[in-house]
Each structure stands twice: as C-alpha cells, then as structure tokens.
Chains A and B, each alone.
Chain A
Amino acid sequence: MINFLSSHLEDCSSNNYFCFAIRCEVCGEYWYSSSIPFTKALFASEYSSKKELYEAIYQREKERAKMVAEKEAREHFSLCPICRRLVCDSCFMICDEMDMCKECAYRMEEYGESVVP
C-alpha cells in the first residue's frame, strides 16, 4: 500500500518546506500532507560554498518528509478493489460484501456508507 501511495505522491515542496499531495482519482480533489520545514532553509547563505552538502541534506530531509506524508496519506486513501483506483475517504464506500469506490458501488448497485460522510 505504501509503495502504491508513494507512486501517487506528487511533490509540492519548496526550498523552505516539504509537502506532498495525492489526487483522488474519483473526485479529483487533492489532499496535501502536512508541511515540514527544511531545517537548513535559513542557513542557505552559509552553505553557498558547500552547495553539494546543502543539496544532500535537502534530499535526505525530503525523503523523510515523503515517508511521513505516505504514512499520513494512509489515513485517508484506499484502493478500490474493483477499479484499482486510489480514492479518498469521501469517495470510498463501506458496503456489505466488499468496500469499493462510490462509482463502482453505483455501477454495481451496491449500497453502503462512505467512510467520511
């Protein structure tokens, strides 16, 4: 699931903050992960002579922020077992036989309740 989410994470980070987004494939809404500030952002001038080192620290913290975002996204996104799309809790239905996205549920006339009303 994490690997699957990782592939759907879109990088929205800046030089000062790390942030990632996932787009629900049903409703198209974006979900944004919590912003995590880059620890060396205020000290960029000090690293002007050590650009490679600065870049390396930035990448390392970004990877960590991505992992945190993945965990955070795991709270809100499910994989529809029918259409294999990644959908948000608003578009994911809890049905009797199997949980599925609301489009699949509508198509197959399965009645259920969305995870987040």
Chain B
Amino acid sequence: MLKKLKQIQALNALAKKRSVGMQRKLMLYWVSMILVIFAAVIFLLSVTGIFSRDDKQFHEVVEVHLINTKDRLEGHLENLTAQSLNLSKELSREIEETLMQEGISMEDVNDDPELLFRIQEAVYPFVRTTLQTADCNGAYAILNATTNTNLDGSNHSRSGIHLRYSNLSAGQPVTPTVVYFRGIPDIARQKNIELHNRWNLEFDIDQIPGCGELLKTSLNRPAEGYFWSTRIDLKNTWESTMLLCVPIVGSDGTIYGVCGVEIGALYFQFSYPNTEGQFGSAVSVLAPIKDNRLLLSKGLIGNVSGTYLDASEDLLIHQGYYYNEYNASDEQYIGLHQIISISNKEVNDTTWVVAILMPQENYIIYTASIRQTWIIFAMILFLILLAFSFFLARKFVKPIILSLKRFQQGEITEQSIYSGISEVDELAEFLNARARNQRLEQGELPPNIADLFDQFIERKNSLTEAERNILRYYIDGYEIADIPELAFISMSTVRKHNRNIYDKLGVTSRDELMLYIDLLRRCDRIQELI
C-alpha cells in the first residue's frame, strides 16, 4: 500500500515536471471549478430533498391511502362487531328461553337432535337477518352441543347454523343467494334454502383457532371475549375466510356457543379493490404480523390485479425511512402498515396490521424515468459548462499565444504585442525593450531611426545635380562660407541651393542636415548619400 502510494506520488511529481499548454491548464482549472460547482449543486439538491422527492411523495400517497383504508376497515369491522354482539344477545335470550322451557341446561342438549332442531329453528331468523343486514358474506351460530357424543371427533364437533352467500361477484348482487353451509338440513328445506355443495351437519371447531378455548371459558358479557380468527380454509372447499367469534353468554355466565359473521377472502377482495396510481397498483391487506413478518397466509388481501401478490406467502419486512420493503420469495413490495385493533381478546396475542402494498418493480420503473431525465439534464448541463469553459479558456489564451508567437517570430511592434492582459503586455514590453537595447549595443540602429535614414536617402534622389554638388561640400566637411570660394558661385546662389536642399530632404536647418550626415557616416551609410 505504502509502495503504491509512493508510486502515485512519483507519477504526480513527474506530471508536475511536464510542461502543459496554457489553454489545457486553464481548461483543467475550469473543469475542476465546474466539478466543484456541480458537486455543490448536487449536494444542495440532495439537502433540499429534490432527489428523495419521489420517495417522499410515495410516502405521502401511501400514507393517505393507508389511513383511509384503516378508517374504512375499522368502521367496517366495528359495525360487524356491533351486529355480532347484538346477534349474540338475541341468540342468548332465545336459547335461554328454550332451555328454561325445557328445564334443562346446555349440556343436556347433547345427543338430543330434536331439541337441537328446535334451538336452531329459533336461532335461524336472527342469523339470517344478520347476514342480510351486515356487510359480510356469511353469518353463523355455533351451539356448544353436538348431535351424537358417541361419534369419533364429537369433542370438536358442534351443532349450529352457517349461512353464506354463494353468488359473490365484483358488483353488488341483485338477489344474493343464501346457501346452507352448516346446520340441520330440515331447516333448510323448511326455509327453502339450497344446501351448500360442501354442506356438513356440524362445525369442526378445531378449524377455528380459539373457538374451542372460548367455549370453555366463563364470561359475564359477550364483549369481554370476542375476537377475529385468522384466515382459515373452509373444510372441503377452495374458499378461505375470517370469522368473528362472539361468545353467546347466558345470564349465569354459561357459554351457550359462539356466533358471528364471516368475511371471506373473495368477499374482502371485492370489498377492497386495488387502486391504480402513478406508482402502480396498491393492494390493501389485513393480516397479522409476527417476528417481523407479514403473515398473508393468515390474513385477508384486497384485489391483487396488477400484482403477483400470493395470499399464501409471508412477507419479510424491512423498515425504511419513507417506506418499508416487504420481501416475498421472488417478488418485492413496498408500502406502509399500521397496527389495527380488531379483537377484544386476541388469540395468542396476535397483532393485526393494515398494510398498503405496491410492487417495487413498478416504483423502480417510475423513478427510473425521472432519474433518467435528471441524468440527461445533468449531462447536458455538464457538457454546456465544458463547452463554455473551453470557449473561455481559448478566448483568454488566444491573444497571449498570438503575442508569444509574434514575439518568437520577431514581429514585435507596440500594437502586435498587445494581448489585453497587463502582466503579459508588461512582460512583452520588457523583453522587447531588452532586445532593442541589445541590438543598439551591437551597433544596430533602432528601427525608427533606420526608417528615417532610409527615407532621407530616398529623398536624396530628388536633388538636382547642382544641389547634390553643394551637398557634397557639406559631406566633405566644408562650411557654408567655404562654398562660394570652392564652387565659384555667389553666397546668394549657395543660400538658394540650401533652401532647395532643405525642402527636398525634409530638414529645417543646416544643423539638422549635418546631424543626418554625421549619423549616416557613423552607420557607414554615407556612400549611399553620395
């Protein structure tokens, strides 16, 4: 590890030694700055909750849905409980009257089919009325007695009536068909009710968890011991259901039996349809929870269309910040759940919850499209910023590079070295001045002086031969007073020549003319003047 770190440091040092172009380096700085800004923007967006907005929105939607479903379910179950408690009271009174008329106790009803018939006949109207008035798909009354105690299984076989609807459908049935699921068939014939194709004479109370224990207890009021059973499979049918078990309590505290209503799995599906939303199909669930598992196999599930939710599976719960994950064997669901109290005395301390579940796949698809939009937007923004940084770097560096190139090629003028950046211009000016001084030290003329000389020599061609003759005297070092003597001309002629020479050579005095001559002589260019 340390060795690798040293290698990286060595590489970094090598990279620092390498000369990098100004534009590339500037571009690198720009890109670094853009990345920092980009990171800051992403950080701000994440802090402000832009990225978790979908999760939050999902939480809000599901929470509202959950609260509504819970309210509705609580109201539904409370109504059923109230009607079942009322049924219990009615049945208690009827049974007690019959027993009093006969002068027997409930235990004496065992093995007396005729008495059982009479009690069931008395019970039937109340069960029927409850079925028709309650929001359920079945009502029943179990008597704590059996027709034949000598039969095998008589200890868990109890007489009673169970009426159910047989023609359940998604729509409200116009004329619901009541079938006779349990009970003495004579009553069905008497009341002209069709027997269920899986009819049985008596209930098997072992099929109903907690029912046997309830029959053995002693209570003052039915409200003290009612409960909802977990979902059970109805014997010899494909149907499953949850039963509300309310004890039928006599005035002396004797439990005459159990009565109540049922909510079948199919009925629950029809009553609680799924809801299609932006995040997918939401399913309502009423199920017990145990060891961080949602026991769908023991609860009821609303309509599952649009999902692959299997009612026989148990889901492992992973608590989340915005929503929980519910993992099945091959599917994953997300949603929320809340504890709901549906029984007065829960069997095995069962905790019931209402849950709203949605397939996680749908949510991922939904958020993926939004995430994709974000990524595309970020990439476009990043590319725009890159192009902008490239443009700025180039614009900044271009005049500098141009100045340097001109400097290298020796095209140095005051205008050409102007880059618009004071430090660079000052450097270029400094180098320019130094180069100029070096040339002067080597005897080279400054460019402007050389130009002046060139122009002066060029103007010399405009002189006449006579004027050139006079000029030659000056070049030879003679004074103006010497020229009349030398040239055999008058001083006035000399002065006139002088005026012409000055005009043509662009000088204003003899001193200036003599300066030119002196400088040209120094530069070894005097021959060009002659």
Contacts and interface: CB of A to CB of B under 8 A. Distances in A.
Contacts of A36: none
A92 B488 CA distance: 12
Nearest to B488: A79
Interface residues of B, number: 16
B465 A89 contact: no
A19 to B, nearest CB: 20
Contact of A76 (B466, B488, B490): B490
A2 interface: yes
B466 A98 contact: yes
A88 B488 CA distance: 12
Contacts of B489: 78-79, 92, 99
Contacts of A79: 488-489
Nearest to A75: B491
Interface string A47-76: 000000000000000000000000000111
A27 to B, nearest CB: 14
B485 A98 contact: no
B485 to A, nearest CB: 5
A2 B493 CA distance: 16
B176 interface: no
Contact of B490 (A2, A74, A81, A98): A74
Interface string A88-107: 01001011111100000000
B490 A77 contact: yes
Given A1-B484, A1-B485, A2-B485, A92 B490 contact: yes
Contacts of B469: 98
A99 B466 contact: yes
A66 B492 CA distance: 20
Given A1-B484, A1-B485, A94-B466, A99 B491 contact: no
B493 A78 contact: yes
Interface string B452-473: 0000000000001110010000
A89 B493 CA distance: 7
B466 A92 contact: no
Given A94-B493, A99-B493, A115-B493, A78 B488 contact: yes
A78 B465 contact: no
Contacts of A78: 484, 488-490, 493
Contacts of A92: 489-490, 493
B70 interface: no
B510 to A, nearest CB: 18
B496 interface: yes
B496 A115 contact: yes
A62 B351 CA distance: 158
A38 B475 CA distance: 43
B164 interface: no
A79 B469 CA distance: 15
A116 interface: yes
Contacts of A2: 485
Contacts of B486: 1
B488 A81 contact: yes
A95 to B, nearest CB: 7
Interface of A: 1-2, 4, 74-79, 81, 89, 92, 94-99, 115-116
Given A74-B490, A89-B490, A97-B466, 20 more contacts: A1-B486, A1-B488, A2-B485, A74-B484, A74-B485, A75-B491, A78-B489, A78-B493, A79-B488, A79-B489, A89-B493, A92-B489, A92-B490, A92-B493, A94-B497, A96-B464, A96-B465, A97-B464, A98-B469, A115-B496
19 contacts: A1-B484, A2-B485, A4-B488, A74-B484, A74-B490, A75-B492, A76-B490, A78-B490, A79-B488, A81-B488, A89-B490, A89-B493, A95-B464, A96-B464, A96-B466, A97-B466, A98-B465, A99-B466, A99-B493
The 9 closest A-B pairs by CB, nearest first: A79-B488, A78-B489, A96-B464, A75-B491, A78-B490, A1-B485, A115-B493, A89-B492, A97-B465
